Every structure is written in C-alpha cells, then in structure tokens.
Structure 1
Amino acid sequence: MIFIQEFIQKIQYQQCILISYSGGLDSTVLLYQLIPFMYQYPFLQLRAIHINHQINNKSEIWSQHCHKICQKNNITLKIQKVFFKNKKNFQNHARKVRYQIIKKYMLKNEILVTGHHLNDQCETLFLSLKRGSGLPGLSGIASWKYLEKEKKIFRPLIKYKKIEIKKWAILNHIPWIEDDSNFQNIYDRNFIRNKILTPIEKKWPIFLENCYRSMKICYKQDKALNYFLDQILIKNKLLYHNIKVSIIESYIQEIQIILIKRWIFLNIKKNISYNKIKEIHHKLIKEHSKNPKYSIKINNYKIFRYKNIIYQIFSYPDLKNTIIYWHNHNKSLKLPYHLGELQKNQYGTTLPKPKKKDLVSIRFHTCKIISINNKYHKKIKNIWQENNIPPWNRNRIPIIFYNEKIISIIGIINFSNYYNDIWKISWTKKII
C-alpha cells in the first residue's frame, strides 16, 4: 500500500524534501515510502533531520540507528542535539524547539514532511477539547501549511490509522525504534492515546474516521466564517493596525467578539484564546469608560483603545533615556529599533546650522514645558495633541538638541530662530 501517492502528485520538478526523522514507526514508514520515488524521480532530492532531545538514556543509540538507516539508503542526515534545562511541559516545549531548528536548516526550495497520522489527529482533537478551543483548535492538524514565508510542511500520512501504518512496516520488514516514553501517561497526549482513544477504538472501530470527518467540517466552517469576517474588514478598510469601535458596535456581541479575534489574527498571525478575546472586548468595548488605560500585550504587540479606535501596535523598547550623538553631520545617522535614519540634504526640515562648538544629539524625550524662540512657553503634551501624534509614537520621534538646548522635533516644530546659516535634515522613516 502506498500512503503517499497523493502527496507525490503535488511534488514539483526539482523539489527538495526534508523529512523529520525520529526513527520511530511513523517517520520511518514515511521515509521508506519516499525512498522508491527518490529513485523513480532522480530530480527529487531527499534529506533527513533528526533531533536528539538527550532525555532518554537510549537517545544516542536512536541517533546512531537513524544515521545507519540513512547511510544505507544514501540519504543525507542532519543530527542536532538539544539540551533542555526546564523539563516542565516538555512535549509542547520540545515540539516548538524542533520546529525552530528545522526551519533554520531548511533549504530555499525545500518542503518539510512529517509522519503525523490519523491517531495524532484525534489526540489533537481531545487536547483541544481539554483546552476549551474554538473552531480553529477543533479543526485539527492541517495536511499542509506554511511554517513561515516560502517554507511549507506536509503531512502525507494524516488520513491513515497507526494500525495501517504498523501493518505495512511489519509486512515490509521495516526496522523502527520503540520509544518507551510513549507509554508514560504523565504526558497529556500519551494519556489520551493510551487511556482514552485505545479503549474507544476497540469499542467503535470507525471512531477515528468520524473524528477526522468532524474536524474537516469544523475546518470548512471556520474557513467560511473567516471569509465573511474578512469581507467586513475589507469593506471597511480595516485590514491594518486599527479598527473603529463604531464598526465593531454595529454588529451583535457574538459577531463583535469573533471580528476582533479575526482582526488580531490577521495582523499578529497568532490565534488568541476565546477567553482572552472576550476580555479584550469587555475592557475595550463594553467598559472602556471605566478602564481608559487598559491594554494587553500579545507577542510583541500591544492592543489598546485611543479616541474610539482600537490599535495593534508593535511594542518597542522605551527610548526615554536614549541619547545619540551626531558628530559627523555629512554622514547619515542611523536611529535605533528600525526608526530609520537622519540625513543632511536639500529636501528636509530647515534648521539653524550648528556652530562648530555645538554638540548635536538626538533624543526621544524632553521636558514637559518648552520655550519657543525665547518668547513663550508651551506644554509638550499640547504639541503632540495639536499635531495628532498618538501616545505610542511620542517617544519615537527624533528631537534634535544643540548641547542641552532643544532645537526641533523633526517634521513637527522648531524651537529656535534661524541663524545666518541653515541646513536641512530629512528623516527617512514612516511610523504608524
């Protein structure tokens, strides 16, 4: 029986394949299923990667086994050792580390294949139920997806039961490693596999197929729902980093919540728990007057409400105490944290030219009240407000000082009269 025929038909000319090879039953069967096609299609390049977690006392023996199998079949193998200081939530942490390593070693024209099968799908469904997941979690493991830009992962065995895969391995005398940790029920996935799914499958042999069918239905419904949510966002030009509260409030509460969830996902590319989205909705929509300064950090983004608009803004480090000296004015000055650069040219803001003895510095913070042309004083807060500068950008705009005297907030306001000589400075960066 060929499990990967459908997958092979999707392979493009000159395709490179990287298999995540643990030496266990699933990845071994996948490897041996791929080997004949490697000879049938000489252009198909096959490599393997083995992650040695160094947890089991047999780890080195397993690595040697994988090396021997790959060497026998003329397959290039990369073995990477990993050391885990923290054993807490090991399986989940190990999975993340594996994918980080694999993405690092993937070639430009290479796809990753793994040995996930139907039993893994159902285990994932039960884990999602345990966590209280919504439609995305109940949709199971995708047969393929992007790991990141231009890097794909395929799971050719995802429709097949483990018992089918094992029968094929025994029939074809395929050697594999049996990891005794798979029987340790301290891990959630192992408990579900050994204590829940095994008895269920004995009573209802078709249960796994029905689970898979339910997951596909959830996937299709989730895809359809996202289509309609995207239409709302596109129609209102909201596929960016802000969304008007009035748009959200024009729908019933149930739609408000999933609309916020979809909007966050499209920007951050991370599914947020339903409870967290409900909290964001409650604090930013329903009770904003009671929590005007509420914000939540997700990954490297901060989500908050400002002037009846909800924003997702990348959370940059605080530049309040940062000072950058610009000694050679004829050279452009690079600013930190992707803020672009300042350069002397004929197109920029007109400023009084510094004298030879003046020390020019760039800062991102100043005092609360500033003297303008030595005539009157103005609050910095009012300057920001008059120029519609939102709070999150007020310490990201370069402020030019000559010695300790403030000269200009670039592109916004000058604080000093022109001398006889002038120069022009451009800031090559757009902030949102």
Structure 2
Amino acid sequence: MFTPKQIAQLNLYHQQGYQFVVAYSGGVDSTVLLYLLNDFCRKINTPLTAIHIHHGISANADYWLEHCKAVTAELNVELTTVRVSINKGPRQSLEALARDARYQAIVEHTNNKSIIFTGQHLDDQTETFLLRLKRGSGPNGLASMREVRNLAGERVLLRPLLQVSRADIEQYAIEHKIRWIEDESNNDQNFDRNFLRKQIIPQLNKKWPQFNQMVQRSAQLCHDYQLLANELAELDSQNCIDAQGCLIVERCLSLSETRINNIVRYWLDQHCISMPSSKQMEQIRYAMQSKSDAQPIVRIAGAELRRFNGKLYILQQVDLEWILHDNADITIEVDSPIVINTAQGRALTIAKVTEGNRVRLPHKDEVVSIRYKVKSSTKCSPHYRQQSRTIKKLLQELSVEPWFRHKIPYLYYDDNCVAALGYWIEKTYLVDENSHSNLTGLGWFIEEGFTKHESNSRSVSL
C-alpha cells in the first residue's frame, strides 16, 4: 500500500537516524499500518515500536490493551502503553479532548527524533473536511489533514494511508487474515463524525463514486492557497510585526481588510493560538481601530490580546497567571548572586560587578530588600534623567506595559529606593562607569525567555 515515493521518504528518514513509532489503537486502520510498517522495517533491518494510549473511556479499554499486547508480541514489536485521564467539562468535545490527550501522550513517550505513524485514511479526510465545512472554516481548516506534520522537537507525524480508502484497508486486512478490534463508540451517531460516516458520506459516494477523491483534491487546493496566504503574511510581517512579536497597529491598518485578517491569523498561528471566530476577528479589528489611549482586551482560547502604545500584544495563559501572582517583598543578602524575576518573568541575577553603571554596595547597617508594592506616586531620580519624576510617569516614558508594572522589583536600602531593577538606578546610589573604573557595586543581568521562576518569594543564592 505504500507508494514508491513514500518508500523513498521512509528510507531517507531511516538514513537520517529517525526512530519509527506507530500509534496503535487496535482498530483496523492502525493494525494494517502496523503490519505494513513491520514488514518494511524488517526489510531495512530497523526496529519498529508501537504505542497504545489507554483512554479509559470505554468499558472495553482493558480488553483492547490486552489485544494490542498480544498482536505486538506475535510480531515481535515493542509496545509502549500509556494511560491518560479525560476530564470532560461543559460544552467540550470528548473526541477533541481524547485526541489532544493522545497526541500529548505520544509526544511525551517518544524520542525527540521519531517518525510517528498514524492510520488516518481517505474516508477520515472526507469526514474532517465536512466537519470543518460545517463549522465555517476557511482555507486553512478546509485543508484538513496533511500527510506530513511537524510535532514537538524533531518529531514528525506521518499519515501514509491518507490516500487509501477504508474499504481497501479492510479488504487488505481480510486477505491477510489480520485481527482487529471494533470500538463500539464508532456506532454512536451522537458524534458528528459517526453521523457523517453512517448517514451522509455513503449517500454522497453512491451518488458520486469519486466524491472522496474530489474532497481530497479540494483539501489540497485549500492547502496550496493557505501556503500562498502565508507567503503574503510573511512579507507583511516584516513591516507589521516588531522584534518582540507584537502587531504594529498603524502599519496593519494601512493594509486592505483582507490582508489585515490574513496577517492577524498568521500572527496568532505563530503564537500557537487557535484561529479566531468571525466575532473574535471583529473584536480584534475594533481593538486595532480604537482610540490610542484605549486598552481593549480580546480573549481567545485562554489567551488575551491587549493593546498598548500602538501595538497588539499576546498574553498566553502562563503570562496571565504570572500577572495575577502576588509577589511578596523579601530581604536579601548580596554577598552571593541572587536570582529573582523581572516584571515580564525573565530571570534577573543581581551580583557584584566592577564595570558598567552599578549600584553602590550597601553599608553594613543597611537592610537590603526587594519590594513590589511601591506607590506609583513615589518620586525617583533615574541616572539617565536630569529631574525626578513619579514612578507612574517614568514607567509611561519607558513604555512599560501597564499589566506588568506592578511586577517590577525595586531594590531598597532600608526605606530608600535604590533602583528599579531592569530600568534605572537612583542617581545618589549610582557608581558611574566612567568616573569609578574599579569600584565594586551591584549590577544585574537579564536572561532571555520567560522563565516564571518562583524565586520572587525568596532570595536564591547561586
């Protein structure tokens, strides 16, 4: 059933050192795939492993597990079994939850450089296309399933049977006396996919025998169109997305509405955010067109889009949790380096240095602390300004995002603000890099990336 092109690709993956793993449920599709891959791997003398995900949803799940153990033992294929728990909430799809849990488990229990084979076939592709058509998906959704898809790390998901019909797979299984199990939930027409499979698609195929192939062709055309749209978005992103990954509103609004929608979807996809609904797209455009001093919030799939200083920012769930986390003031010792967090959650190390602008060392009788609940009306005299200003005005000048301002760590000696870590040093505590060449002081180093250390609640010595 593998085409010459697929065999050549599998040989290339083998030469590149990938491990072959088949997602094995025990159903006819994955069982036939298991047999095909086992034959292929024996010919090229490379091991094949299988992974079975036990969802615990069906009363027969334990039986399916034992069946998979027996089949893989007969074939001398190593089997990894993983149990997952599905907690369905209101208005959540059991199918989607099970699928997400399955892929997550597969990623967690396979090596980084793995080819993960799944048994989706041509009929599955038709079902996916019609389900997404029902939801009003655009070209990206109607492209349906791709034969090759990148997963976490160097993992690759491969669907080698995507051009093969269910009937051909079942015929192959019967001819080769292959045993498989039937999932009783496949007969439950309360699931949309099963309703299409049992009631709709057979009629369409009876009326138009090449219907599945035509759907596959349309899916491919949608995929090609999406590639073209992505190329245009990549060009627009050079002007409309800044180095921090924010959308520059004014530049976006200079585009046509179609291109605005395209760059927004591309931007969200780059941040792994689900595609917005039509209503959410309207909210995003409203946020972009609102007054410059407005601070609208658009919520999408657990994330938030916020506007500030002419840009749209994406705050992921981890960022939102970080913002809500209450930082406690701490007393520290400066004899050894200390790791805390910046307002944005990056790791910030405070250490003794002898170069650059730095804070003078504390006197022996001065208590050193990190504080967060500093009033915005507090006046400070940053080393880079001639005159003092309130913290509120200073943070506005520095374009610090409003949602992070309460997270800024301030260095205090006794009750005197010495520095806003990551932003400025108070003039009276500054050891100037030009006039004090070898005098030791305190400086800080900020690591790239969001770490969200818990070290804000205590001092941490390196």
One fold, TM greater than 0.5?
yes
Cα distance in 2, alignment partners of residues 404 and 299 from structure 1: 43
User: Is 2:330 the counterpart of 1:312?
Assistant: no
The answer to whether the Cα contact below 8 Å between 1:133 and 1:274 also exists between their aligned partners in 2 is no
User: Is 2:399 the counterpart of 1:366?
Assistant: no
Which one of 72, 75, 81 corresponds to residue 73 of structure 1? Answer: 75
SS of equivalent to 2:444: strand
Which one of 292, 295, 302 corresponds to residue 293 of structure 1? Answer: 295
Residues 10-409 of structure 1 aligned to structure 2 (within 5 Å): 10-11=9-10, 12=13, 13=15, 14-42=17-45, 44-86=46-88, 89-235=93-239, 238=242, 240-266=244-270, 268-286=271-289, 288-289=290-291, 292-298=294-300, 301-314=303-316, 315-316=319-320, 317-318=322-323, 321-323=326-328, 325=330, 327-336=332-341, 337-372=345-380, 378-409=389-420
Given residue 5 of structure 2, which amino acid in structure 1 is its aligned partner? E
Q: Which residue in 1 is equivalent to 2:460?
A: none
Cα distance in 1, alignment partners of residues 449 and 188 from structure 2: 52
Which one of 428, 431, 435 corresponds to residue 417 of structure 1? Answer: 428
Deviation string for 1:254-282 (max 9, x for gaps)? 2222222212222x123412415523433
RMSD: 2.7
SS of equivalent to 1:347: coil
Given residue 7 of structure 1, which amino acid in structure 2 is its aligned partner? Q
Report which stretch shifted further, 419-428 or 305-314. 419-428
Given residue 9 of structure 1, which amino acid in structure 2 is its aligned partner? A
Given residue 426 of structure 1, which amino acid in structure 2 is its aligned partner? W
Report which stretch shifted further, 348-357 or 63-72. 348-357
The answer to whether the Cα contact below 8 Å between 1:113 and 1:153 also exists between their aligned partners in 2 is yes
- Give how far 1:309 is off: 2.4
SS of equivalent to 1:177: coil
Residues 291 and 120 (structure 1), Cα distance of their counterparts in 2 relative to 1, 3 Å cut: farther
SS of equivalent to 1:129: helix
Q: For structure 1, which runs of at least 5 residues remain unmatched after alignment?
A: none
Q: Which residue in 1 is equivalent to 2:8?
A: 9
SS of equivalent to 1:305: strand
- Give how far 1:431 is off: 8.3
The answer to whether the Cα contact below 8 Å between 1:15 and 1:45 also exists between their aligned partners in 2 is no
The answer to whether the Cα contact below 8 Å between 1:144 and 1:154 also exists between their aligned partners in 2 is yes
Residues 30 and 412 (structure 1), Cα distance of their counterparts in 2 relative to 1, 3 Å cut: closer
The answer to whether the Cα contact below 8 Å between 1:319 and 1:395 also exists between their aligned partners in 2 is no
The answer to whether the Cα contact below 8 Å between 2:376 and 2:392 also exists between their aligned partners in 1 is yes
Q: For structure 2, which runs of at least 5 residues remain unmatched after alignment?
A: 382-386, 432-438, 451-462
Q: Please report the TM-score for the alignment, with normalisation by the length of structure 1.
A: 0.90
Report which stretch shifted further, 413-422 or 81-90. 413-422
The answer to whether the Cα contact below 8 Å between 2:352 and 2:440 also exists between their aligned partners in 1 is no
Report which stretch shifted further, 18-27 or 344-353. 344-353
Which one of 425, 428, 432 corresponds to residue 446 of structure 2? Answer: 428
